[in-house]
Structure 1
Amino acid sequence: MLGNASIEPKTCGGAVRCWQRCGSTDRREYNIALADVLGFPEGLAYLERAGNSDRIIAEWERAGRPVTAQWLKYGECVRRALLAQNRYRDWVEYLMRSRQWSDAIAALEECSPSEIKSLQFELIRQLARSNLTPQQVRIARSRYMTLIDQVLSNSDWKTYLAVPEVGIVLERIGDLVRTLRFYEQFVQAENLHLKVFARQRWIVNKIKQQNYAANVDTRRAVAIQEEINRKASDWRIDLDALPTDLPPIDRLTVHKSQQAAINLVQGLPPGVQLNLSSSDGHAYSFRIDSIEVRVVKRDHLLKATITDLHTLNLLQIEVDSRGGRVCIGNMFVEADDGQRLLFQGPVTGCSGAIIYRQSPPLVQLKLPNHPDTIVF
């Protein structure tokens, strides 16, 4: 009689012991009752023995689809229950939430064609925002590259993804040749923000390639370094101030009104506006906290005024790259050799360097409470 009875939660423990004494542990009711006694996620395995996929999914969803180590231990129970109900998308999304990236890519094969495309795009978006490293990818790199190839085979991929999202995923995968080839497509882009981003990341990855070549082929390493120097000069990128770490992806989505700032000034904090004083971009200003910077730049000449609006202390810089002549305040310096002068103050916490041997000259500016070097 007990085996066919409906078991209330309060009596589950007694029922389980009774079935165990009777040797009736193969009954469906026993496994369901034992699942309730154990709780979840431990009880999921016994719900699976009972063939109760509905209850497995219900308990998983009731718990909030958790990604804790305790629940991930029983992930296969959840997977089989979801697939039994053709809920492939839910499983792929769960793998993404739990950062099981390689498994998520593999699971795409079980999804319907109508779901695969949107899930592939979502995977790229999340991979771009992950902490994935080339070392973590090494064993399954071909799987990740297949995902990239499939995404880029869609003629409309730019409708769903930003170029930096794909580029950063390629960098996380660690395929330098493919990464460089991808960025090369955008180094002459009409969009100023995209062009600068692609150029900077191309150089960063080319430097990685040069470092690798230095250990295996010194002649090739020298050739790569020459190419890096040539591109940096053509694109007016200061190699010493170039940020090498992957930028936070959400900082790369910039309003059109700020695109000029990205082209003219490197390293501006998010939200800082560039105010153009001339339509050709030769005169502009920006403000960071209490520091105001005004710049006039044309060919071989650069003039900058850096003012602390609280103390009214200011630093005036004038640079003529033709003769290596630099004016800092009322003092003129003419350099016979080298290409860089360092400065500090009188604006509180302000320091930096003047690159005076190139046209136009560059100023590298360090401000208090801002980790990035600002280059203009």
Structure 2
Amino acid sequence: MTDQTDTTPLSSSLLAWYDKNGRDLPWRVRGAHPNPYLVWVSEIMLQQTTVQTVIPYFYRFMDKFPTIESLANADIEDVLLMWQGLGYYTRARKLYECAKTIVADYGGKFPETYAELLKLPGIGPYTAASISSLAFDKPEAVVDGNVIRVIARLYSMTEPVDQIKQEIVKKAQQLMPKERAADYTSAIMDLGATVCTPKNPKCKSCPFNSDCCALKEGTVDEIPIIVKLEKVKKSGPLFWIENERGEVFIRKRTETGLLSGLTEFPWSADDVSVGKKEPEFPFAGGWTFTNKSVKHVFTHIQLSLDIYKTEVSGKEEKSSDFKDFKTKTGGIFVSKENFKDYPFSTLMKKVIAEMEKPDVKKNKKSGSNKKTENKQLSDF
């Protein structure tokens, strides 16, 4: 990036505000951080996740993987387990891949420049700027949602953000001082998080209030303009399969698509617009609808799953019908007590919690005498 300037009146005001009001966070120091690993992990965790949510995860993750070498040498299942519940699991897989690359190709040391950081797996412009600025005090503007809001209001940018993102980045870079880059980066993010908030901003406390165009025009509450995409609605069945020992069938989700690499109970879903269909059971058996369902909202998907249950005997476990299903899914039976050892998503944790509740209605039989074809369950 280019166009950074010497300290301007705006950046000086912001740094003075930060010196008095900056947040104390477990991954933050004043000035450049001596450990880029902490900066990197925190920035990946903070993507689309709030600070308060991230803090306990950060502590647990660092206890488990205190160095980049310990992360690179870990098993991916352990990494996903520590990420469990934080969401956006692609972040964890990319974090793991990047750690291996840094250890193998860079001797465990992060490159300092924005250009070199961009070459690493899972590191895009935002993360590269974050590490370069926060860990190495380089004047690289970090533009997250908080910074977008500050810049858009400061200059009264009234076009939709997705149309003017590059202009916002350019203006953010022009404000970035050559000195105290790390502190300035923390300062502008703190300003957006604590003062220039989406609703009820504290404009009287803002160091930019005398220069803010949106404040002068009375349009603070209208900026920035963010066009939200409508969520796709999906629904389908989830299959809870128990054996005679009370163990439950789980599988590892395919390494592509939503929630890839995580543990789950077999399920599938279709776009609601095609109409709700009768479930196609994965193998013949005494399936019952449990009268239980779970709902979950992802970034772009609103999902609803109806839970169906069956119990398979020892003889049925050995049948070709079930063996074909088991081979296709690559699943295994595990005891409920051992669920804690597997990286379940929040969606699957909702299923477990629902199945732990007592039945309140008599289950309606579904497909108990119906021979169904084996079917590979679909992924998003």
Q: Normalised by the shorter chain, which TM-score bucket?
A: under 0.3
Between structure 1 and structure 2, the one with the greater Rg is 1
Q: TM-score, normalised by structure 2?
A: 0.25
Q: Which has a greater percent of helix?
A: 1
Q: TM-score, normalised by structure 1?
A: 0.25
